[in-house]
Every structure is written in structure tokens, then in C-alpha cells.
Chain A
Amino acid sequence: MQIPAPHANTKGIKFLLKSKVKTAFSCCSLNERLLIKGGRVVNDDQSFYADVYIEDGLIKQVGENLVVPGGVKVIEANGRMVIPGGIDVNTCLMKPFLGTQPVDDFLQGTKAAIAGGTTMIIDHVTPQPEDSLLEAFERWQEAADKKACCDYSLHVDIPQWNESVKYELELLVQEKGVNSFQVYMAYKDVYQMTDSQLYEAFSFLKQLGAVVLVHAENGDLIAQEQRKILGMGITGPEGHPLSRPEELEAEAVFRAITLGNRVNCPVYITKVMSKSAADTITQARRKGSVVFGEPITASLATDGSHYWSKNWAKAAAYVTSPPLSPDPTTPDHLHTLLACGDLQVVGSSHCAYSTSQKAVGKDDFTLIPEGTNGVEERMSFVWDKAVAMGKMDENQFVAVTSTNAAKIFNLYPRKGRIAVGSDADIVIWDPDSVKTITAKLQQSASEYNIFEGLECRGAPAMVLSQGRVVYEDGNLQTQQGTGRFIPRKPFPDYAYQRVKFRNQVKNKQGVTRGIYDGPVYDVIPTPKYITPAPSAKTSPTSHQPPPIRNLHQSNFSLSGAQIDDNVPRRSGHRIVAPPGGRSNITSLG
């Protein structure tokens, strides 16, 4: 393979046009014509041998014996796999923690993504409570436009629920191209929402056609457990998983799904970290719930036993929420579910903090900033642990690393597929390359890599982003600021088609009955028993003044002779018998 000549030029230009003159870049890429010859195109549905011709950042032709203009740069794939570039649906490259930023920003983070075969990321905008969602979104977009080296999109996290948030959400969906929002069931007194708020948020987001992302952990119980564990004198990172046992995750997943079912809204569980949470999702899908599960690189490749490491910095590097499960069989189980389709998408939840940032919590595990690396290792680990082990085929590999994400978030078929008209985000995958993960060789700026020392089979040989070669044989040729924001439309079919049909089916109807005109018990006007919410809507008859004693009374019988017929009516009963004879309820229907 030759080194693409035009790149020398563009690299030079990059420094000249350091400010964001995006049009200039797209001018350059106009001339970029590429032909990938002799590869095996692997989509999520089938694999076939074909050449791929790329022009202007788009795939123009797929097939054999293509007619292409002269002077086209040719890449010989030699029968290797040509797959759609990976989509990492969960990164946090700008998530602030107590005023500091993660060490991997949009530049560093997207470089790491590309080095791992991922050509698009969806980052989380994480406003603080009280912040404006819109402003936060714009801040993120600005930062990413300056720095990102690959296409990106943004999820917006909803830190609290109120009326002004609703307005901003509408704006974000309709004008800003955001169709996914995250809500939190954990982080008590900060981000956590109550069930009622979640219900409202789900209902509202469903109307907008957005995908609801849920951080599923029971925050109330976590707060209690944290207090207990700190009270026992456990302050190290092991307190983190001890205070967040996996059943708290499973419980919240169950509750989120219940809410989703009630509202008839698609639910997407971010960071599936434990077997029991994954099992809960599986069962719900069996019953027909529209729910998606996203395991992350960390939960697929390592486990929580490291929290007990004697090395504080190492133990702290694993701190993320929900925590990695201490059960070492977890990764294997999650891979199995991923392979059979019960879990759909793999993210990385890449959120890298330096050791000194993590050390903020050196005397109190609740203060350790949460986040692990994984954007670079994501695809390789799925290949190594699922495909190389025979759990998964190559098509399913493409589905879970790229296509499903594109479908759920309404990017398909622009992203997530090699087809005519799709973006030229393509990876030539080398299934046999073996490398050992180490912090020394990673793109990320963090000192620790939680996969340190793990051997991993499968890696990208070449990565194309927007029709340009950005990675080849270990060399990155990325350009800062070339990443475009990809807007996403609401109502993705993959999530909403079923929901729409169910909406039609689900219309409930009351029973038409004759008006009940039998006796009504007279209630004390100050109702102490307030049945939930709609307490305003009490029965109009419930506050009547004491009725006038009716002389018809006596022989009124509802079910024939009563055993207490011979017993006088107890004084507690005052019966309001309506004037006008028999009611419609005199028989036991």
C-alpha cells in the first residue's frame, strides 16, 4: 500500500488554515478519489466480494469491474474485510468534574477512536443542574467543531426536570438535530429524577420522537449504602462497587423498562455492566418491550476484581458507574447476549481522568471522578472476545459496533453501512493482528489503561473517514477540526415503528354502563384518605350534606335475603337512597 500523496499537502494546509475554515477542507477532499479493490465487503446482513469507489467523501459505487476515472488512488485490500467504520455511541470527552475536564478532549479522544477503527462518536453533553441545555449543547458543539477529527453527534443529558427544560428539549429536537437524551436514576440530589419525573420525561420525549437513554442505578439505595460503607471505615475504591452492588443496577433497569412500557416509549439502557442487568433486559425483550442495552468496552473486557487492588491508583482507574461487576464471568455472559442480539450496541463510555484527578477521592471513594477508557479498544475487544471465540459472526460484529447504533439513532444508512450514497467511513479490518494493550502505546492521554497487559486479536489495518485515509498501518493522519456535526432526526424507525403501531392499538376505552343510582355512603366531608394525585376530582356526591332520611329504605335488598336481615342496621350506616325506586344493580350480573 502506498502512502497517499495528497496528505502531505493537506497536512501543510492544516497549519495554514488553523482556524475553522471548513469549506477549505472539503475543497481538498473534493479531489479525493479512492478505490478499494479486492476487499470483502461486510455489512450487518451479508458479506460479498466487491470494489468500493469513493468520491467527495461518499461511496459512489460498489461492485465488480467498476468504471472509474483515471488517476484514482487505489487501495489493494487483498481479500481482507472492508467494514463500515465503527460508531461509538457513548463518549464523555468534555464531562466536567468539580471544575476539571477529562484529559482526553475531542482531539485526543477522536484520535484514539480512529486508531481503534471508530469513525464516528456520539458524545454526551452533560450540563449541570440549573444550566441551560441549549447553552451547554452549543458549548459542546463549538469545542467539538474545533477539535474533533471524525464525525460526531451529541446526546444531551437532562440533569433535572422542569418546564423550561421542556422548551429547550423541543428546540434541540426540532432545530439542533438531537434525538437522544439521557436521564439519571442515580446521583441522588444532583441528577436523579423521581419515578414521577421520569414518567413525565418519558412521555414528553416520546412525543418528540426521541430515544430515552437511562443511567440505571437506584440512587436512593446507593446514597444509603455509601453512608454505611464510609461509616465502616471503607474509603478506598473497593467501597465503590460495595456501595453499588449489581442488583441496584438490575432493579433500576427493571423500573426503567416498566416506565417505558407504561408510557410506550423506547428505552435505551446505557452502560450495561452486570449479568443481572443484562438478564433483565433480555427478559423484557422476550415480553416485547422496546428496550436496547449498551454494554461498554470495560464491561465486555474486564471485571471489578481490580477494585481490590493494593495499588490505589490502579484501583481508582476502574471507578465508573455502574461499577464493573466483581463477578469475573460477567464479560463472557455479556458477549453471549451481544452475540444473540439481546444487547444491541457497544459503546465505550470513554471518560478519561488522570490519576491526580482521580486522587481527589483518595480519602473518600465517593469523590473519585467516574470514568474509564475504552474508545480505542472497543472494536478489537468485541472481535477478540466474541468473534474470535466463535460466539459471533462478522456480520453481527458490524451490527453491534456500527449498524445498530446508526439505526437506533437515525443515522442509517448514511452511517453504519457500505452502500452507494453512504458516507465513506470505512475500515479495512485485519482479523489476525495481535497486540498487547498498554498505556504506553495508546492514543489516550491518561496514565492508566484498565486493559493493561491484555492481549487482543483483531485491529484496523486502515481507516477512512469522510473518504480520506486517516489511519494506516499504525500511523495516524488525522486533522483536527475536520469532524462534522451530524444532525439526527427524531422518530427513528428502528425504535419507533413498533411504538407507533402500539399507540393505535393501545387506546383504552371505558365501559358504558347505566348510571349507578343505588345508595351511596355518605363520606365525612374532610377526606382523610386521599387516594393519589387526582384528589381534586372527587366524586360530586361525596361532599353532599347529610341526606334526608328516606322512608322507602327498609326492604331494599341487593342479593336476596341477607344473613343479617334480622339484625338491625348498625348505627354507623347512613344510606342515601335515591328517590325513584329500583336501581339497575339489583341483580348479581
Chain B
Amino acid sequence: MSYQGKKNIPKITSDRLLIKGGRIVNDDQSFHADIYMEDGLIKQIGDNLIVPGGVKTIEANGKMVIPGGIDIHTHFQMPYRGTTTVDDFNQGSKAALAGGTTMIVDHVIPEPGTSLMEAYDQWRQWADEKTCCDYSLHVDITHWNDSVKQEVDNLIKEKGVNSFHVYMAYKDYYQMSNSELYEVFTFLAERGGIAQVHAENGEIIAEEQARMLQMGITGPEGHVLSRPEELEAEAVFRAITIASQTNCPLYVTRVMSKSAADIISQARKKGNVVFGEPITASLGTDGTHYWSKNWAKAASFVTSPPLSPDPTTPDYLNTLLSSGDLSVTGSAHCTFSVAQKAIGKDDFTQIPEGVNGVEERMALIWDKAVTTGKMDENMFVAVTSTNAAKILNLYPRKGRIAVGSDADLVIWDTDSIRTITAKTHNSAAEYNVFEGMELRGAPLVVICQGKIVLEDGNLHATSGVGRFIPCSPFPDFAYKRVKARKQLAVLRAVPRGMYDGPVSEFSMSRGGTPSASARTSPTKQPVRNLHQSGFSLAGNPAPCGDLCNSTGGMSTIFLKDIPSFGVSVMVVKGAV
């Protein structure tokens, strides 16, 4: 199934296809039916379909027919210090198709200080030229100010982007402060965007990296030692807190460790709108390889957050994926050659970060979760395709086999067994982090935009046919709950009589209480009142400072009257 060049692509004369005798598996149910496709769309589903003559027919022989996979996280052709990742949009999307994925969502990463819009246009241009399957884009927000705000607004309204990625790591570079995150999340919640976070505590990482280098640890093991998994869990916790304050749906990219996954599942139990995305690497392998004696091998596993050295992690993440606590799977496919990785051969902080996984994603989940009995085939479709489509607001156009949906589908062979190796994979990278792994389950036929692109192990991908699929804001999957809560969570002040008792004199000169120090009380300097004397707030208080008796007259506040107070407002808040 190696790539042979464009000359072998057969001319598909007709845009009409019929899949006969397959078992359609959607995320909600499975049933036997035929599928008729025309012009890249699914036109009919059912038994004994009436179709025009001369239609190419594929016999599924009872095999599963599933919606094509959606890889919601890729970094194809990503610029890095003047070079790019070795898999460009052509190479990368071919690998995707070979693995049964018919749509990818790539990250646009503008340099801090540059225009988001220009970066977006650049990525569009690259992708339009080369991709072999449909794609969408996330845009990373690498710095925050008013002009960025304006650009984000335009991207949502005009450019079909509904998800934006922010960083809690990479100190002094991409990293945002809590206040900035709060503002970004608030803004995205208003505009109906999804906030994606790279969750790691960048400040502690910077300290730990300095410490590791000081200790003389310069190899790839320093990467994982300086980024222990609790830093990931901490940041996830913080991101969830900020998102819940701003009532913004949160999407945690790259869930790499058990503790981070636990935090997400706890938050979901409390009702937070949060989605977790484990990636192929965290579902399939672990971080013990960072200690490999082979530098190049160890370096090929470097990604952030790092793979957890705990070998039980993949199994655990697959379990949470099966139970629905983690929602989607990406690959974070971002491949560098060994020579590129070797930039950091004397300093692990310089190793470019990224692992492969776009091709292996679906087979790996089938092997680790479905064949082990953790997950059923419908859930498999949900986590590899449908949930992603729902979050991106592309459902049911993508992620479902239904009349009117795009004809992106896969005939899945549940029994085929392959051994993963860099020799045969479709990526241009020399290493494969899953090297030697035997995986059960593979795509038999892949249909993308109504055309057969994989058949009998031969890939017939065409560069540049991939279309940009615009995503609209306010996806129901994330925003329905948020909208309802917005109506409930209106805070109200307690109407009280004016407090007209004594006010202590104070100076604003030092140590004011936070932020709002500008708003001083207008009655800063109480005039000394001659009524004075017998005013008492609490019966007969012990002698106190000179202020107790300073002003007087009757005040509206009496100790003993304890009227009812409105607790209801806050209860609502608590429930959210």
C-alpha cells in the first residue's frame, strides 16, 4: 500500500456509488442497509434501493460501514524555526485517508504579535493547494489585545472558524495569564466559540527545566522530568475553573495523563461543560521510552504535555473514553525528522515537540478499546467521528451516515491485523512512536467526497481536492447548556436601606484591597456628629476603639432584627 505516485490514480468515471450489504454503524445505532451516493452526498439509505444503471457497486458483505473519521487535531506543514514539519498537507492527509480518517482539523499558529487573519489566509492557501480530504481550521490565539479580539470576531463571523486555542504553557512566548484567559473565555462565550486549551503550568515548567539543566540532565528524559503530570492536572483544573466562571465551553487538547483525565471527569460530574481529547500517542503508548538509550528514538516521543511514564495510562484513558468522560480523539500529528529533533541534542528544551498518529488513530482505538470489550462499535464512531463533528457544528453533514450527509465513509475490517512500522507508514517521518505494535482493525475501503480513495490496500488520493469546511458558532453540543445557564445565573444585588451608621476614617495610601481601589467611598471623611453619646450597636459592647461612638442618630441597622435574606440567587449559581 505504499504510495506510488499520481500516475496510478484510476479515473473514476462516475460520481455514483452503491454500497451493498453493509451494516451501517452510527453513534446511536447499527442496522443493515445499502447506501447510494451521488455527487459526493449520501442520497439514499435502505433496502432494495432504486438506483440508476451503471452505478459502481461495492459489496460490503456484512462488514461495518462507518462515518469517516475526523481527526480534530493535526499540525501539518507547521512552520518551526524556519523549517516545517515533514508531513505537509498532502503527505499528512494521505496518511489520514490511509487510516480511515476523511477529515482533518488543523491548527493555525500565528507567531505572537502577528495577525491572526494573515496566518489564517496562509494556512488556507497551503491546505487548499495540497489536502486530499476535507479540512477545517482551529486558530491559536498566541497573544491577546483589542486587535486580536477584532480578528477573532471576524474569523467567527466571516471565516468559518469556531474554535480557538490558547496556551497555559510556553512561558514568555505563547503563555497567557489567568486574567487574559478570563478575557478570552469571556469573549468566546459571547461569540459562541469553543475555547481550546493547552493545559500545562508554564511557570513551574520553566523553573523545573532550569533545575533539570542545572542538574546536568540534557537528554529527552529531561522533558518528561520537567513536565510531571501534576502540572498538567493543575492547569486542567485551573482552565476548568476559569471556564466555569465565564460560562464558556472548554475543550482540553491532548489529555496525556491519568490525573488530567480524572480532573476532567470530576468536573463533568459536577456539570461543567468540558471536553477532553486524548491523542493517539497517549492512548497507544507511554513515556517510558524517554529513557531509551537511543537518543533519536527517545526524542521522537517528545511532545507536550509529555507521554506519562506510567505504563497503565493508555489503558486508563481508553476506559474513560469508553465511558464518555473523554469525548473526542485527535492525533496531534506533528512530525519532525530526526535531524530536526536533533536541534535539541544537547538541550532537551530545544527539541521540537510532536509525535505521529494521524494514520494509526482509528485502528489503535479499535484495537485498545473495542476488541478489549471496553467500548462498543457505536461509541467507537462517536469518539472517532461524531462527537468531533458535533463540537465543530458540522453535524450531521459530517460524522453520520444519513441521507444528505457528505459521502465520507469507511468500510471497516474488524479482523485485519497490521504491524505498525515506519517502513510502511504514510508519514515522511523516520520514526513511528508505535513501531512494532500489532493492531487489529483497519479500513478496507475509504470513500471521501463520494470517491473511492482506498481500496485493496491502494491509496488513490488526489492532492488539492480537499475543501475547507466552515464551522459556525454556537454548536448545540456545547452551547445548549451554556445558554440555559446564562439565563439562570443572573446575579442580583440585595436591595437594602442606605447604611447611615458611622464610617471609620481611613487612608487609601497603602495596601488597598484589590483592583477596585479607585472606587473610594464618597463618605470617606465622616463629619463628627454631636448627637453621639448613647448609640450602641450591640447592647453593651466592651469598650472599643474611638470610632464606635463617633457618629450617630438613628441608623437603619439594628443588630437584633435579622430579616430574611435572599439565598435563592446564590443557590442557582452553586448549581452551575
Contacts and interface: CB of A to CB of B under 8 A. Distances in A.
Contact of B204 (A199, A251, A539): A199
B339 A539 contact: no
A539 to B, nearest CB: 4
Contacts, number: 423
A588 B548 contact: no
A226 interface: yes
Interface stretch (B172-180, B318-326, B389-397, B447-455): B172-180
Interface stretch (B25-33, B210-218, B374-382, B474-482): B210-218
Contacts of B209: 531-534
Nearest to A102: B545
Contacts of B523: 362-363
B414 interface: no
Interface string B315-355: 00000000000000000000001111111111101100000
Contacts of B521: 360-364, 367
Interface in A346-361: 354-361
B346 A539 contact: yes
Contacts of A232: 491, 493
Contacts of B292: 511, 589
B504 A308 contact: no
B522 to A, nearest CB: 7
Contacts of B491: 229, 232, 234, 242
B291 A511 contact: yes
Interface string B236-251: 0110011011000000
A554 B224 CA distance: 34
B84 interface: yes
Nearest to B424: A563
A475 interface: no
B293 A511 contact: yes
B7 interface: no
B413 interface: no
Interface stretch (B45-53, B460-468, B508-516): B508-516
B533 interface: no
B170 interface: yes
Nearest to A566: B5
A85 interface: no
A508 B170 contact: no
A518 B338 contact: yes
B132 to A, nearest CB: 15
Interface stretch (A13-21, A116-124, A182-190): A182-190
Contact of A448 (B170, B345, B349, B537): B537
Contact of B342 (A310, A442, A520): A520
Contacts of B153: none
Interface residues of B, number: 138
B294 to A, nearest CB: 4
Interface stretch (A217-225, A386-394, A494-502): A217-225
A207 interface: no
B222 interface: yes
Contact of A532 (B171, B493, B499, B571): B171
A573 B514 contact: no
B201 interface: yes
Interface in A527-570: 527-534, 537-542, 558-564, 566
Interface of B is mostly: loop
Nearest to B502: A356
Contact of B504 (A200, A226, A356, A443): A356
B82 A524 contact: yes
A262 B208 CA distance: 8
A445 B516 contact: no
Contacts of B570: 238, 241-242, 304-305, 308, 326
Contacts of A221: 178-179, 182, 241-242, 245
Contacts of B230: 258, 261-262
Given A366-B513, A508-B215, A511-B221, A326 B567 contact: yes
A250 interface: yes
B341 to A, nearest CB: 8
Contacts of B573: 242, 245
B454 to A, nearest CB: 15
A99 B431 contact: no
B517 to A, nearest CB: 8
B345 A539 contact: yes
Interface stretch (B66-74, B119-127, B143-151, B555-563): B555-563
A128 interface: yes
Given A306-B565, A354-B545, A563 B338 contact: no
Contacts of A363: 519, 521-523
A523 B344 CA distance: 11
B514 A224 contact: no
B538 A366 contact: no
A100 B81 contact: no
Contacts of A229: 491
Nearest to B178: A220
Contacts of A362: 499, 503, 521, 523
Interface stretch (A49-57, A162-170, A290-298, A311-319): A311-319
Closest 5 A/B residue pairs (Cβ): A220-B178, A589-B294, A195-B203, A98-B506, A524-B82
Interface of A: 96-101, 103, 108, 128-129, 186-190, 194-196, 199-200, 218-227, 229-230, 232-236, 238-239, 241-242, 245, 247-248, 250-251, 254-255, 258-259, 261-262, 304-315, 326-327, 354-364, 366-368, 370, 438-440, 442-449, 452, 508-511, 513-514, 516, 518-521, 523-524, 527-534, 537-542, 558-564, 566, 572-573, 575-576, 584-585, 587-589
13 contacts: A186-B514, A195-B204, A254-B238, A258-B234, A262-B207, A356-B504, A363-B522, A367-B516, A445-B543, A448-B538, A519-B338, A532-B205, A533-B209
Given A510-B215, A513-B293, 8 more contacts: A188-B515, A196-B206, A223-B514, A262-B207, A357-B506, A367-B513, A541-B345, A584-B295
